[in-house]
Amino acid sequence: MKAKKATAASARKSAAAGIASIEELMAYAYALELEAAERYAEFADAMELHNNREVSGLFRKLARIEQRHAEQVLDEMGWTSPPETPHGGYKWEGFEAPETGDVTELHYLMQPYHALQIALHNEKRAHVFYGNLVKQASNAKVRKAAMEMEQEEAEHVRLIEEWIKRTPKPDADWSIDPDPPALAD
């Protein structure tokens, strides 16, 4: 367990230490938002495949929101095309960007409440990512921009929490399917 924590701390530090310019920070921000949009679209497709249209629609809405965030990065930077990937690739704490949803969280009977819990988890991870940049970035301009992004992610967390408050919690037996899908040979 101790080694795992050290590895995670090292990964966070390497990402923060490696971001030396606003352009690189915004390339990270763009990738973070774009990966989230793509994953939510994948989740929407999966839910649609299982005829779970309500959750599919929610994931599509989340995908559009994240796609808009990626487009805002391009606009803010005056970029007409996506930025190049930094040399050596992005250095995320895990294998994917912090705001990218975990595919193992999907369940074909999940409800909007579950989808919002995934989104909340992702927004919190993005908030922590930028918070670590604020603490560890050596460039003052990068630190200031990361602080603004950290505050934006905090607002996203607050908005998702408000959305969850208005969303009915599922019954305890939500995952029980009286007619489960059968596998065919």
> For 103, which DSSP code?
G
pLDDT digits (tens, 9 = 90+) for 86-108: 888 898 888 899 999 999 999 99
Cβ proximity of 167 and 116 under 8 Å = yes
In tens, the pLDDT along 142-151 reads 999 999 999 9
Percentage with pLDDT > 70 across the chain:
90
- Domains of the chain, first to last: 9-84+96-165 (1.20.1260.10)
Q: Residue 10 pLDDT more than 70?
A: no
Q: In the predicted model, what is the mean pLDDT of residues 101-121?
A: 94
Lowest-pLDDT range of 11-25, 29-43, 83-97, 150-164: 11-25
CA distance 133 to 156: 18
- Distant-in-sequence, close-in-space partners of 74: CB < 8 Å, separation ≥ 6: 30, 80, 81, 82
pLDDT > 90 fraction of the chain, expressed in percent and rounded: 78
For residue 109, give every residue at least 6 positions away whose Cβ sits within 8 Å of its Cβ, in sequence order, or none. Answer: 50, 52, 174, 175, 177
Q: Does the pLDDT value for residue 24 go beyond 70?
A: yes
Compute the mean pLDDT over every residue in the chain, rounded to the nearest whole number.
89
What is the phi-psi region of residue 20: left when phi exceeds 0, alpha when psi lies from -120 to 50, beta otherwise?
Answer: alpha
pLDDT (0 to 100) of residue 17: 59
